[in-house]
Structure 1
Amino acid sequence: MNALSEQRKIKSEEEHSHAVRAMFSGIAWRYDLLNHLLSANIDKRWRRKVREILTVTLSKENAKVLDVACGTGDLSIELSSGARAAVIGTDFCRPMLSVAQTKNAKIPWIEADALRLSFPDETFDAVTIAFGLRNLASVESGLNEFHRILKTGGQLVILEFSAPVVPGFRKLFDLYFSHVLPRIGGLISGERDAYEYLPDSVSKFPDQKALVELMTESGFQNVTFKNLTGGIAAIHTGQKEP
């Protein structure tokens, strides 16, 4: 990539980040209510599954876990519950972190861009990201950054909306996701654009198998995924190995 192309890429990423940051800033104080309402609280169960995957790491006193794009902190708080490991939450949207701070003041909440994290190489034993990977200007750049800050042997766990695998259920979900959810979300939050962005961003995000390929290309090994609730969401895991 030449210098001009690199500059254009950075500018495009910055414009995307600015737009997404502004959108989430506008819904920060209604974000939790709508998340739990629109998912019928299923999202809480999904986050518990992420914690279960990291049980061994979280039990280690000297381990460090970074929750990227943590939003209002639900996954960070879930991970820290009963954990001996240090859990840190990062997000590039300050209003989201302000909400997280009101929910748990003990967890360090750090404002940071997922594509340009300020942590040294090989800092963390595990990195998580829940419903945030699709919001990045570049999924590939995000995965490369996560690989950089993970220790050798460290684990990446991604919880993200995905492609439903049950045919009839998929049509029903698409109808709800594309038409019902934006209407309810817009009514309660006053920001319908944010809830129209959600199904649009999910439709453009790689499906389960495509994400496995992207993770592998970024250097992760032993990459696997598990569908949740018929594939509405999926958990992908991968390890950084020598």
Structure 2
Amino acid sequence: MFSQIAPRYDLLNRLLSAGVDQSWRRATVREALKHGPKRVLDLACGTGDLTLLLKKSAPEAEVVGADFALPMLELARAKAQKSGLQVRFQEADALELDFPDAYFDAITVAFGFRNFADYERALAELYRVLRPSGRLCILEFPPPPKSGLGVLYRFYFTRVLPYIGGLISGNAAAYRYLPASVERFPPPEALRGMMEKAGFRVRYRLFTGGIAALHVGEK
């Protein structure tokens, strides 16, 4: 599914979020780079937007982008080459990461964590490859809040977004999957509890009235 929508993925991200996702990504990068990490992993990197932003913000760091959809990685490599940025992109299974223990100083996952087949196992792997005192930043869409804004957002997310996404990408099922996956995702407090159970010390903040949430966990 992600391979099929790769060619229109960036366009739809900008269009469907009205560009506000860029400010969320910048906030994630600031948190991830706060302690000057030397090695950074952007997992579920997609077409590399966050990966390249990490490299631009920390040019001296080794930045690795990893994903399981090859067409996404091919687009990410092309964007890196066009930008003149030295970033390694590679295939990866979030449940069985091909990296040594305590290899990374910081890890980011932007809008990909909810797609993992086993959250607990993924958190265990992320904990394993993160060095002590390292930082994990998970940017995600929690279930829409129950406020007035949440009601409007849920209508947009379940009715308008699938229509526009399907029209532009040619894959309506992928954009019906998106709101369904968000509705099934744990609310912020529950995700915090899962991360703490995995061994992280966790705090989180909400963006845009609770539409997005950034969880920061320290090992």
Q: What residue number does 1:20 align with?
A: none
Contact 1:124 1:149 in 2 (8 A): yes
1:73 counterpart (45, 48, 51): 48
User: Within 5 A, what are the aligned runs for 1:1-242?
Assistant: 23-57=1-35, 59-60=36-37, 63-83=38-58, 84-105=60-81, 106-165=86-145, 167-221=147-201, 223-240=202-219
Q: Which runs of 5+ in 2 are unaligned?
A: none
Question: Retained in 2: the 8 A contact 1:135–1:201?
Answer: yes
**1:14-34 alpha-carbon deviations (Å, 9 max, x no partner):** xxxxxxxxx001000100000
- Separation of aligned partners in 2, 1:43 and 1:184: 17
Q: Contact 1:158–1:235 (CA<8 Å) still a contact in 2? A: yes
Unaligned runs of 5+ in 1: 1-22
Moved over 3 A (4+): 163-166
* Larger of the two Rg values belongs to structure: 1
Contact 1:220 1:239 in 2 (8 A): yes
SS of equivalent to 2:204: strand
Give the 3-state SS of the residue equivalent to 2:57 in structure 1: coil
Question: Partners of 1:234 and 1:85 in 2: how far apart?
Answer: 26
Equivalent residues, number: 214
SS state at 1:153 partner: strand
Do 1:164 and 1:230's aligned partners in 2 also have CA atoms closer than 8 Å? no
- 2: CA distance between counterparts of 1:91 and 1:70? 6
TM-score by length of 2: 0.95
Q: Letter of the 1:88 partner, please give it.
A: V
Paired AA for residue 224 in structure 1: R
Q: How far apart are the structure 2 equivalents of 1:78 and 1:187?
A: 29
Which range moves more in the overlay, 164-173 or 226-235?
A: 164-173
Amino acid in the other structure paired with 1:26: Q
**Considering only aligned residues, what root-mean-square deviation do their CA atoms show, in Å?**
1.1
The C-alpha deviation readout for 1:35-74, integer Å capped at 9, x for no partner, is: 10000011111100011113333x45xx100000000001
Say whether the 8 Å CA contact 2:95–2:122 is kept in structure 1.
yes
- Share of identical aligned residues, percent? 51
The answer as to whether partners of 1:123 and 1:149 remain within 8 angstroms in 2 is yes
TM-score for the superposition, normalised by structure 1: 0.86
Question: Contact 2:68–2:91 (CA<8 Å) still a contact in 1?
Answer: yes
Q: Work out the CA distance in 2 between the residues paired with 1:212 and 1:163.
A: 14
Q: Distance in 2 between matches of 1:114 and 1:228?
A: 25
